[in-house]
A and B are shown apart, each in its own frame.
Chain A
Amino acid sequence: MRQVTGLIALIVLVAFLVWGVLPPTMRDFGYPPSDMDDYIIENAQEQTGNNNVVASVVFDYRGFDTLGEATILFTAVTGVLLLLRASKRRKESS
């Protein structure tokens, strides 16, 4: 029962995803619409002084995302060290 339901739902979902990314619904691969990115590629050099456009996007245009990304790494490290800490008072697990 569970297997059948799961397989049917999975097949339906994957079918929709595949149908969605194929040409009639999705644009062709390699020919993206690019207003924002063209602007960034043209103006990255004099606005941020970077040769590396990706670096200028990561640290200047979308620098807030990178701050969040560093925060997530910080969070995960803190969480790992928190969960692997020595818990002094041992009790039996409820």
Chain B
Amino acid sequence: MLSKIVRTVANQLILFILIFGLYVIAHGQITPGGGFQGGAVIVSGVVMLLVAFSSKELKKSLRERVLSIMESTGALIFIILAFVGIGTAFFYNLLVGTPIFGHIPPIGPNPGDIWTGGVVPLMNLAVGIKVVAGLSAVVLALALFSSGEEVEE
């Protein structure tokens, strides 16, 4: 539990970190970045909250149970997206050419289009959910354990 100034600044700053992380996740198919990177950005915000407030404070809002549910859900979305194409082959990118995320960008240098990439943006989103939940669960668990209390069943 740091000083009031730090806590207030962290409260304001977490919003921008969240927006930036979501931007990195959402534009993974046209700009550098993707699910892992954006998720790591968001988890850095979680770590900032962990430093500003104590781990016990943060535990009230971030439950282990919710985090593990989120993580399993993200992983399941990922593997289901991989299974969708199994009519052709596992991991077949079958959304290319369809209206959802299916636009084909002009070949060569172009100013990018958010509705491209087939299943890639959805996989980015699933991986982003998974990474956010997983890494914040790890950080929270380590902080709680080193502050004396153990993770519940």
Say if the two chains contact directly (CB < 8 Å).
Answer: yes
Using a CB–CB cutoff of 8 Å, the interface residues on chain A facing chain B are 45-52, 54-56, 58-60, 63-64, 66-67, 70-71, 73-74, 76-77, 80-81, 84-87
Q: Provided the pairs A73-B134, A86-B150 are in contact, do residues A48 and B118 lie with their beta carbons within 8 angstroms?
A: yes
Contact of B152 among A50, A58, A80, A86 (CB under 8 A): A86
Chain A residues contacting B31 (CB-CB under 8 Å) are: 52
B110 nearest in chain A by CB position: A51
Which size bracket describes the interface of B in this complex? 35 or more
Contact A51 B30 (CB under 8 A): yes
Count of inter-chain pairs, beta carbons less than 8 A: 119
Using a CB–CB cutoff of 8 Å, the interface residues on chain B facing chain A are 28-32, 34, 64, 68, 71, 75, 78-79, 82, 90-91, 93, 96, 101-105, 107-108, 110, 112-113, 116-120, 123-124, 127, 130-131, 134-135, 137-138, 141-142, 144-145, 150-153
